[in-house]
Structure 1
Amino acid sequence: MTPYKLDSRAWQESWDRQQEAFMPDREHRFAAMLDVVDAVTPADRPVRVLDLAGGTGSISLRTLARFDRVEVTLLDLDPALLAIAGASLGDRARLVVADLRDPGWAATLPHRSFDAVLTATALHWLAPQRLAELYRELPAVLRPGGVFVNADHMPDETLPELSRRLVARADQRRDARYATGAVPSWRAWWELAAAHPLLAPLVEERNRIYSEPHSSEFLPPAAWHLDALKAAGFAETGVVWRGGTDAAVAGVTPG
């Protein structure tokens, strides 16, 4: 009997749809992040990108499609998501297993001279103090003039009521899509993964790794991130993309 293989394209599509239910403008933020990478790309060698907490490789895949000369490293801890990433990326990217809750995570990297470190909708699981510490650790893995970009839910603190209304309306639209079966919810997606012959044992391993509950989602305004990046030693900080209550903040290391 032919062994059951992981259809990485189908799982990537399923993951994208599940994520897009939360972020309809997901591709816009990715494009903005890669525009930043393009702006710091050296002309004489491949650009080096670290996909931090990269999951299934959404950023890595789009980075590889965008740039002709690029070296991608994807770092994550989740064995199920890493399996999908590995099946999708093959030998086009290096996979690194590390826990960002551990201050020694950077020791697992192949080098400390990345042009860009990119992450999206992942770091909000870290406790506030640990996230601030991580920001302080990032300049050491970037080359001078390198850039870090984090895209996540970062409401504009000057628009509290409008932000509340935007979130409520987005929740209504997402719930309607769940009700019709148009897209899988987060929980439904993981139930599908847990029923897959190859992913099931990895989901069990994932559940053991995350046996302790995540910290409460830490979703401060963009201003908090900018202050933390400045305190971490980034020479320039700012918002490079905004869509409603989501934003992408960037920090550039001293040149």
Structure 2
Amino acid sequence: MTQTTTAGQDWQAWQDSWDRQQEWYMPDREERFRVMLDMVEALVGPEPVVLDLACGTGSITDRVLRRFPGARSTGVDLDPVLMTIARGHFAGDDRVEFVTADLTDPRWTDALPHRSYDAVLTATALHWLDTEPLRALYGHVAGVLREGGAFLNADHMVDESAPRINAAAQAFHTARKERERSGGALDWAAWWSEAADDPGLREPARLRFERLGDPRNPAAAKTPTDRPTSARWHADTLRAQGFAEARQAWCSPSDALMVGLR
């Protein structure tokens, strides 16, 4: 796999940088990926055709191909910076294709290269959607999965029935992040500042800020006004949108992995 362009861009370094930034928020990130891929193998086998939904830099695709060398993956995203990194990182790997699409567009599935997939995977992405767009998206996902295919979504889902436990976990998590920030860890805004300063990402960053907002100013970011937060909502909605079964397969104090089976 070629990971450096002829211009000398080090896409592996950007992939690693993205992973470290995400791990600052989610120190158990690799554990959720491990459970996700365990469930993929258990449900659809070791050579899946995967749709990496809201793929970002291709973190899930990278782990899928390392574990399942015979797999194929289609990455879908709208962010010009993250897609530039993903395309650079996987350049020359014919197991991987990328599609630029807006998941809130009802016709986004028309751009996909395959009519159906064994598994649709996503992580820490769909919480940006309000309830109704997310409900509709779950229906579209059901439509691109083969019978018996699996959808796995690892994202922010909190059990709101235990507020004191949640508050204690959040305080512990915040203290850890502050310690790591003092040691040089990059947060969301700082990572985007570095991306905007990189000559190879400067133009994609300009387009990203123009179309989707500037992450260097988190206060200006669009925040969903009606965002579902419970694992139960996700399971109930998946069943209502065409999945035969849905359940939680992993959780942390703040996140969960939902599995839906067609």
Q: Is the 8 A contact 1:77 1:99 kept in 2?
A: yes
Whole-angstrom CA distance in 2 between matches of 1:33 and 1:42: 13
Q: Is the 8 A contact 2:152 2:258 kept in 1?
A: yes
Whole-angstrom CA distance in 1 between matches of 2:163 and 2:9: 44
Residue 22 of structure 2: which of 19, 24, 27 is its match? 19
Whole-angstrom CA distance in 2 between matches of 1:17 and 1:248: 20
**1:164-203 equivalence runs, <5 A:** 164-181=167-184, 183-203=185-205
Q: Is the 8 A contact 1:40 1:115 kept in 2?
A: no
Deviation at 1:176, TM superposition (A): 2.1
**1:18-167 equivalence runs, <5 A:** 18-42=21-45, 46-90=47-91, 91=93, 92-167=95-170
Q: Is the 8 A contact 1:153 1:219 kept in 2?
A: no
Secondary structure of the 1:227 match is: helix
Whole-angstrom CA distance in 1 between matches of 2:252 and 2:63: 19
- In the other structure, the counterpart of 2:216 is none
Whole-angstrom CA distance in 1 between matches of 2:163 and 2:115: 39
Q: Is the 8 A contact 1:112 1:140 kept in 2?
A: no
Secondary structure of the 1:167 match is: helix
- In the other structure, the counterpart of 2:217 is none
Secondary structure of the 2:44 match is: coil
- In the other structure, the counterpart of 1:242 is 251
Deviates more, 1:172-181 or 1:208-217: 208-217
Whole-angstrom CA distance in 2 between matches of 1:238 and 1:15: 29
The question of 1:216 aligning with 2:224 is answered yes
**Per-residue Cα deviation, 1:85-123 (whole angstroms, up to 9, x for no partner):** 111112231011000121111111112210100000000
Residues 132/9 of structure 1: CA separation in 2 closer, same or farther (3 Å cut): same
| Runs of 4 or more consecutive aligned structure 1 residues displaced over 4 Å after TM superposition | none
Deviation at 1:10, TM superposition (A): 0.8
**Per-residue Cα deviation, 1:134-165 (whole angstroms, up to 9, x for no partner):** 11111110000001010011112332221122
TM (normalized to structure 2)? 0.90
Whole-angstrom CA distance in 2 between matches of 1:96 and 1:235: 28
Give the aligned residue type for 1:32.
V
Deviation at 1:42, TM superposition (A): 4.6
- Unpaired stretches in structure 1, ≥5 consecutive residues: none
Identity in percent: 46
Deviation at 1:251, TM superposition (A): 0.6
CA RMSD of aligned residues (A): 1.8
Give the aligned residue type for 1:203.
A
Deviation at 1:68, TM superposition (A): 2.5
